[in-house]
Structure 1
Amino acid sequence: MGILFTRIWRLFNHQEHKIIIVGLDNAGKNTILYQVSMNEVVHTSPTIGSNVEEIVINNTCFLMWDTGGQESLWSWNTYYTNTEFVIVAVDSTDREKISVTGEELYKMLAHEDVQKAGLLIFANKQDVKECMTIAEISQFLKLKKKDQQWHIQACCALPGKGLCQGLEWIVS
């Protein structure tokens, strides 16, 4: 009965919110997407293009676009249209590439279609010893200087720790 009610509710109250997930290679974008949509780890190969999943949280539908991790894909403007939220997956263990993540993030955020989008940063792989803290990542990405609404969330995508808390920020 609950499933029937949910489907009927969606027919009459269908409101989708577009989210794009970006990040460098091996940051955990696919893992985050499939952990959120299916609550399981899906073994994947590097994404060419994008993966799309629809998820429903508290009767709110989100269309999540996971873009490939190659730096050049961050500039694909076609993904940005109607984007309400940007999720940035950061590999908390990769100190060498955090500056590249910041550079690519600011290039993307300069695009008019995402300037008003909410920004959620998943500081992934927080279970690894000697990883960067969320304070370090925030400092490297210069988040305190951003006028956009943003939130940084520590997480470990493989078991799904911290993902719900980040998505709750989006829903609120």
Structure 2
Amino acid sequence: MFIFDWFYGILASLGLWQKDAKILFLGLDNAGKTTLLHMLKDERLVQHQPTQHPTSEELSIGKIKFKAFDLGGHQIARRVWKDYYAKITLLEEINNYLLYTRSYSSFLGLFGVWSGVYYTEKVDAVVYLVDAYDKERFAESKRELDALLSDEALANVPFLILGNKIDIPYAASEDELRYHLGLTNFTTGKGKVNLGDSNVRPLEVFMCSIVRKMGYGDGFKWVSQYIK
């Protein structure tokens, strides 16, 4: 019973109970992606060096699988961000083509392409972390975020923006971060917002402190309503 309560408590606190989510963690180096990943996994603070190679981890809590991808954030790692989700589109296009033609010869012709593609599951949400204290890199964070938001492969994917490190004095406020990321008046609203069939991508900013275990829970509860 204790183990079940522990499983339920973690997932329920994030609004992810009975969810099977594939969530992509992105952001510049030192934004807190890997630290957050491990806080969600086992609720302990682990200090990490900047991720040298893209890594993925599966968080299995009870019967719930919560898949998260930490793709680093420094210049080399950023080049492969797209490899993790662009290949999804290619696989879907191949699947659709084969279903449409129902041709075995077509399959043989495309097998070389198929076999060269690294299989990746579809992304259900993106968590984009920003170091709210490192104001000198806000412009860089904005460029990376703009590129992600304009990518067709992620056109309908919910985006949770987390401004981390608000426990540090003089870290940016939420309004300041929104301004520098170009998100003032462009987010979809906190709380339960029914976007229905509006074809509007869910997008919102939440401020947090991973080391203090503050704020990110509210962000995950918000994004969980858009994960089916």
Report TM bin, short chain. Answer: 0.7 to 0.9
| Counterpart mapping for 1:50-61 below 5 A | 50-55=54-59, 61=65
* 1:130 lines up with 2:135 in the alignment: no
Q: Which has the larger share of strand?
A: 1
Identity %: 28
Q: TM-score, normalised by structure 1?
A: 0.83
Q: Which segment is superposed worse, 109-118 or 74-83? A: 74-83
* 1:170 lines up with 2:223 in the alignment: yes
| Counterpart mapping for 1:101-112 below 5 A | 101-112=141-152
Structure-2 residue corresponding to 1:161: 214
Q: Which has the larger share of helix?
A: 2
Name the count of aligned residue pairs: 163
| Counterpart mapping for 1:90-105 below 5 A | 90-105=130-145
Structure 2, unmatched stretches of 5+, are 8-17, 89-121, 188-199
Write the letter of the residue equivalent to 1:23. G
Distance in 1 (alpha carbons) for counterparts of 2:46 and 2:154: 29
Distance in 2 (alpha carbons) for counterparts of 1:75 and 1:84: 21
Q: Look at both structures and tell me which one has the larger radius of gyration over its CA atoms.
A: 2
Distance in 2 (alpha carbons) for counterparts of 1:79 and 1:59: 25
2:22 aligns with one of 1, 18, 37: 18
Q: Please tell me whether the aligned partners of residues 167 and 212 of structure 2 are also in contact (alpha carbons under 8 angstroms).
A: no
Write the letter of the residue equivalent to 1:39. E
Q: TM-score, normalised by structure 2?
A: 0.64
Shift of 1:85: 0.8
1:52-110 CA distance string (max 9 Å, x none): 23346897532110111114433422222321211111101111100110001111222
1:45 aligns with one of 36, 49, 55: 49
Distance in 2 (alpha carbons) for counterparts of 1:154 and 1:117: 20
Structure-2 residue corresponding to 1:89: 129
Q: Which segment is superposed worse, 63-72 or 97-106? A: 63-72
Distance in 1 (alpha carbons) for counterparts of 2:44 and 2:55: 16
SS at match of 1:27: coil
Structure 1, unmatched stretches of 5+, are 7-13
